[in-house]
Structure 1
Amino acid sequence: MTVWDRPEPPPPPVPLDRERIVAAAVALADEGGLTAVSLRKVAARLNAGPMRLYGHLSTKDELFDLMVDAVQAEILPDTQPGDWRETLRVVAHRTRRTVLRHEWLADLLGGRPTLGPNGLAVTETQLAALDGLADTDTVLRAVETVGAYVIGALRREVANLRAERATGLSKRDWQRAHGPHVTRMLATGRFPALARAVHDGTEVDAETSFTTGLDWVLDAVATRLPRPPA
């Protein structure tokens, strides 16, 4: 067989490392949510065989851990903010922006602590901001309380965004569609507090609602910190 007739040898395997695997998984999740992520799909995105991924991780849960830690790098402040309140506020707002870029993150936050380097750094940033201002247990409860608010608020916001996409109805459209039912129910007089809220309350956007609630939680935390001497 002449060289002209001889087939080219197969190309070498696609080089893989954990960073490329995680980047591919994050891209899949950004496009289709966590259900779009599997070791097989990640391997296909990388043009590699699924078995090659098992040299880098063992389970999909490990992959999710790596994905969470990768995007938590986006939460870390570029510089250490001034006082404890500003630090927790900055981390909270950066968490919100990160979740809105990677909606699947809302589904994975709130369980056991993430132990990757970026997750640990986020926690260290928050604890360090309060270090020395109160006893250790108070500091831990403060960070946990703010985190619980942030996660709950973001899950609700993401749920609303998903509902809008699933139904094709904006929040305003949904309110119009259900307005007649709500009006009839309020007219029964059984829900006077709710009626006052509906008729007299001010509707705000998601960011304003998040910011207001966060400030209230931080105010509550401040009451638990020892007051400086007069």
Structure 2
Amino acid sequence: MTVWDRPEPPTRPVPLDRERIVAAAVALADEGGLEAVSLRKVAARLDAGPMRLYGFISTKQQLFDLMLDEVYAEFLPEGPPGDGLEALRTLAHRTRQAALRHPWLADLLGGRPALGPNGLAVGEAALASLDGLADIDTVMRAVETVNAYSTGAIRREIANLRAERETGLSQQDWQRASGAHLTKMLATGRFPALTKAVHDGADVDAEASFATGLDWVLDAVAARLTPPPPPPPA
């Protein structure tokens, strides 16, 4: 039985429902990451006994499933996401924006398909945006490719932000602290490509890097989208 098939928890003695449980779990994760989330901690925040939650959620993974689906609602724009590749672009950017608001999200992206109502709605929007542009297998591979790029880029960006928080060094501070070592290593002549990148490469921020990579991925996907052949005449 999935968490979506379980009944709502009883409302006595403390009012308790799925919405309050998930909101408390998301708040804990926003404050301290996934390691700060447990059924006992959620129950304590709600001033309820943990056994009341266990009757509704049997594992921490089910709690994570609920949290993930809650944030999936932030992926979809308020209006229609658009058609074709532009819809996938919108979903990718909104996924990144949600991860910046909820850094723990990066740890849950890329796993098994999300089966909650919001996760299914995101999957439906992505697949429907390419409906008719290619056969269903090509459409699925296209969506998977864009999702794989987005997940990897988001995880890298969040990892850098976590490193800044944990070390107290911004990206610029870290570069300055590492500069002497890097200069010495490049001076050996063993890394000519890296030397060219360091000396001549443009310094772009994370948002611009994400957008550029996404454009390239979508251009490659567009090249593989060919409409399915028409049905044979009756």
**Residue in 2 aligned with 1:9?**
none
Normalized against structure 1, the TM-score is what?
0.92
Normalized against structure 2, the TM-score is what?
0.91
Aligned length: 217
**Residue in 1 aligned with 2:85?**
85
**Residue in 1 aligned with 2:125?**
125
CA–CA distance in 1 between the matches of 2:26 and 2:199?
A: 43
Helix, strand or coil: the match of 2:77? Answer: coil
1:181 aligns with 2:181: yes
Q: How far off its partner does 1:79 sit?
A: 1.6
Q: How far off its partner does 1:95 sit?
A: 0.3
1:219 aligns with 2:219: yes
Alignment of 1:65-80 (within 5 A): 65-80=65-80
| Structure 2 contact 74–98 (Cα < 8 Å) conserved | yes
Helix, strand or coil: the match of 1:66? Answer: helix
| Structure 2 contact 75–91 (Cα < 8 Å) conserved | yes
Helix, strand or coil: the match of 1:131? Answer: coil
Q: Which moved more, 1:72-81 or 1:104-113?
A: 72-81
In structure 1, the gaps of 5 or more residues are 1-11
Helix, strand or coil: the match of 2:103? Answer: coil
**Residue in 2 aligned with 1:198?**
198
**Residue in 1 aligned with 2:59?**
59
In structure 2, the gaps of 5 or more residues are 1-11, 229-234
Letter in structure 2 aligned against 1:162: R
Q: Which moved more, 1:157-166 or 1:80-89?
A: 80-89
| Structure 1 contact 17–56 (Cα < 8 Å) conserved | no
> Structure 1 runs of 4+ off > 6 angstroms?
none
**Residue in 1 aligned with 2:6?**
none
| Structure 1 contact 22–63 (Cα < 8 Å) conserved | yes
When Rg is computed on C-alpha atoms for both structures, the one with the higher figure is 1
Q: How far off its partner does 1:227 sit?
A: 7.1
